[in-house]
Structure 1
Amino acid sequence: MKTIFTKLTIVTSCIFTALYANAEEITSPAHSQNQPAEISKAAAINEPTTTNEPSFNFYGELGVGGHSALEGDDKGRYSDGTYIEAGLEMEMGNWFGLLYAEGWTVQVDGEGNPWATGHGWGGFEGGVNRAYVGYRTDDKTEIIVGRNDSSLDDVQWWGDATVEYGYTVPNTRDLNLAVKVQNLEGKLRYSVSAAPEGKFDEDDALVNFGKYDRYADKYTYAAMANGYVQYDLLEDLTLLGGAEVTDGAGEMVLVGAEYKNVAARVWHHTDQGTDTSEGTETGFMASTWYEASQGVYLSAGYNYANNELETAEDEVTSYVNAGVWWEYGGGKFATAMDSKFYLSNDTSDSDNQVFIMQYFYW
């Protein structure tokens, strides 16, 4: 979730190098997972500071809406995607920090099973997503420590200009305790992050929102390191390469390229399994966007992922999505729509869907 056409994006064919000396979010038009407000605001944290007086910036966003299946058992049922987020940025000289919280509604069916469509609401789930401090050197290198997103999560939607339904690349995302080193200035930009094994779960959470709240469990990860390099080869051509290594959970490589308003990315993960299966995932995504009028963006994408599993049947996910992003009120409001249609080579047995959301930013 972030602001302005937040997935206007970046993508990539480049070699990932583990640049270690010198090392939050990229602009990409709007996923409900990657929506405008947070991105443009978080970008402000990278602006040079010329005073040692502390400064604060409070911002946030509210999204009201969700999804509905166009076929299958859940055809016509509403799946809620309502959420709220807010962050407090702090800067003083070369030091900066961010405290960011998020929450969303939890749906339940008549028997109390969570995340069912077309029924009622069973409460609220959420927590503190980011809590970190950082130091920015005079050459714009940033060292960040605390609860953070991984470097590859910063480029999660690189090359995906569509509103909501772009395929999620299988990299590690939110980290309970991590160190990130990055420099996002100039033609060559990079970011590297590393974290020890995460064992943070609901028992460690300071606040629980109800019996369905499982927010804290997302910070339970194996030890990992990931990062990316992006390079502006030409004025309108940006390349990117990234990689991730985890302790016992495989490795991933990612490359991509963006030229003007067309972008593509390719990735391969050596161990993209579930609780009952292990295997590899190889994926490809391409997207494009067009500014139909001021603040109105049309977008379309193709998404493909091949999961070759060791203890289950192989699965192919293949679909196209297309939508519109309309931003108005000086960036205070946005209305979004996206649609997803699976192709004949898809074996995931998923339903075609539509997504509609109204956003409010402050």
Structure 2
Amino acid sequence: MSGGEEPVLLHTDGRAAHIVLNRPRALNALNHEMVRRIDEALTVWEDDPAVRTVVITGAGERGLCAGGDIRAVHDDARDGDGSAAAAFWRDEYHLNARIARYAKPYVAVMDGIVMGGGVGVSAHGSVRIVTERSRIAMPETGIGFVPDVGGTYLLVQAPGELGTHLALTGAGIGAADALLCGLADHYVPSAALGRFIDDLADLPVRDVLARHAQPPPRGVLAGRREWIDTCYAADTVEEILDRLLTDGGPEAKEAAETLLGRSPTALKATLAALRRARRQGTLERVLDQEYRVSCAALSTPDLVEGIRAQVIDKDRTPRWSPATLAEVIDADVARFFAPLGDRELGLAGPGTGTEGV
């Protein structure tokens, strides 16, 4: 398949099949059509003996994928009934689970910017490549939302409280820190990516990795583990903030300032989602939970307001409602996890909808 108008380009080269996200002007943001096309391609390739490896990359120079098409979510939440966004998430989360269980090597080239939904189509893969250009983040609290696409499942597996820090602040990380947090597997310099991808046409993935993978440049999170683990182990967002502000370190105070600019409701829902995800056990159960949380977010004022401020008007001054953490009560958080009845995502199967919460 070729042509600049197609949002997903599909082709095979030797033993490798390729998915190229092809909306470079939108930093390859995922829409519903793209999710469907990727899923359809995976179905075809799963049963094709000539395809031994699947590779996903992004068109353009800026990154793999900046996330989901949140303008469409904004419009549906503001002007519609939320059904279009819910249908998109339903198919997207099914795709995330499918990628995690895919029977063939799924090589995600996480070069440049990889955020939100971009993490969902890459970090669940079996072979995840980062470069010195990689910038990986789950920045949802900045738009009044909660990490999804299996993000809470991935982040709670990071060492100590690193995942809590990344989820609440939305901070971006580079190659070494992505490897430390379990969001990536191998470092390949960006200059070698062309040869790396070319070699996948002829060689097994392990042989290509042996040829091109290298140690990454030094990261920053390993040196911040002490204050991160101490501060983010607290039971409430208020206590986390208090610990960050009294820790004394400049990085901790910077994290506190970041949190103070995030949606108070989203922060509390995110912390609850992370703590619950630790008890869920499987990706499918966590995705079921994330679907409940995402659908509930559609009816909160902060999602529309956050996307307006960050993406549409770009004034970067969201007016959160409630405006403070103290005003967000337990019932406000609990509603994010309410069962959806016959609208449940259902990835974990019947009878598992609210267990472990």
> Between Structure 1 and Structure 2, which shows a larger proportion of strand residues?
1
Q: Larger RCO: Structure 1 or Structure 2 (Cα < 8 Å, ≥ 6 residues apart)?
A: 1
> Between Structure 1 and Structure 2, which shows a larger proportion of helix residues?
2
Same fold (TM over 0.5): no
Q: When the two structures are superposed, what TM-score results if normalisation uses the length of structure 2?
A: 0.26
